[in-house]
Amino acid sequence: MAELSNQPSTGLPAGYRASRFDLRTIIIFSLCVALGGVAILYPIAAFGCIVGAGVLGLCWLALRYMRRIGLELWQVFLLISLTGYLVLNYGYENVAFHIGGFPIIVSYGMVYGALALAVISHQDLARKTLREPALLCVLGLLALSGLHLIVDFPAFGVWALRDCSMCFDALFLILGLIWAMDKDSSQFLGKWLILVFALNMVYSFTLPWGEQLAAWSPTSGVFLQVPLLGSYNGAGDTLLAGAVFCICVGSYIMSRPRWLMLALVLGQLLGIAITQVRRMYLGIVVVIVILILVGEIKKFAKLFIFVPVAIGVMVLATTVGGLEISGRIGPVNLSFFKDHIRSITGAEDTPGSDPESRVIMGNEAMEHFRAHPVFGEGFGQPLLTIIDETNGAVTRMPHNSSITYLARLGLVGFTVWIAFHFCIVKRFFYAYRHRDSADRKIYAFVLWFFLYYVLFMLVSLVEAPFEFPSSAVPFYFLMGYGLGLIRWQLVPKNKGRAMGLPAAV
Position 435 pLDDT exceeds 70:
yes
Domain boundary among 23, 42, 70: 70
Number of structural domains (the chain) is 2
In a domain, 405, yes or no: no
In a domain, 403, yes or no: no
| pLDDT at residue number 141 | 95
pTM, two decimal places: 0.85
What's the rounded Cα separation, in Å, for the pair 491 and 502?
Answer: 10
Residue whose C-alpha is closest to residue 232's, from 217, 243, 247? 217
Helices in 205-333 by DSSP H: which ranges?
210-216, 235-248, 250-253, 258-275, 278-293, 297-315
| pLDDT at residue number 326 | 82
Which whole number is the average pLDDT over 114-128? 95
| pLDDT at residue number 24 | 64
pLDDT tens-digit series, residues 256-280: 788 889 999 999 999 998 898 888 8
Are 112 and 62 contained in the same domain? Answer: no
Are 193 and 307 contained in the same domain? Answer: yes
Helix axes 356-371, 401-433, angle to 10 degrees: 100
In a domain, 397, yes or no: no
Are 256 and 287 contained in the same domain? Answer: yes
Helix, coil or strand: residue 334: helix
State phi, psi for 105 to the nearest 5 degrees.
-90, 120
Are 144 and 39 contained in the same domain? Answer: no
What region does 281 belong to: left with phi over 0, alpha with psi -120 to 50, or beta?
alpha
Are 44 and 115 contained in the same domain? Answer: no
Q: What range defines the domain where residue 232 resides?
A: 73-345+417-498
Contacts of 215-224 spanning 24+ positions with Cβ under 8 A: 216/44, 216/47, 216/48, 217/91, 218/48, 218/52, 220/94, 220/95, 220/96, 220/97, 221/94, 221/96, 221/103, 222/94, 222/96, 222/103, 222/105, 222/162, 223/103, 223/162, 223/393, 224/94, 224/391, 224/393
In a domain, 103, yes or no: yes
Are 91 and 111 contained in the same domain? Answer: yes
Are 110 and 55 contained in the same domain? Answer: no
Which whole number is the average pLDDT over 392-411? 88
Are the C-beta atoms of 51 and 87 separated by less than 8 Å?
Answer: no
In a domain, 409, yes or no: no
Domain boundary among 25, 47, 70: 70
The pLDDT-based confidence of 33 (bands split at 50, 70, 90) is low
Are 249 and 232 contained in the same domain? Answer: yes
Are 163 and 47 contained in the same domain? Answer: no
- Residue with the larger pLDDT of the pair 57 and 148: 148
DSSP 8-state symbol, 226: E
State the Rg of the chain over Cα: 26
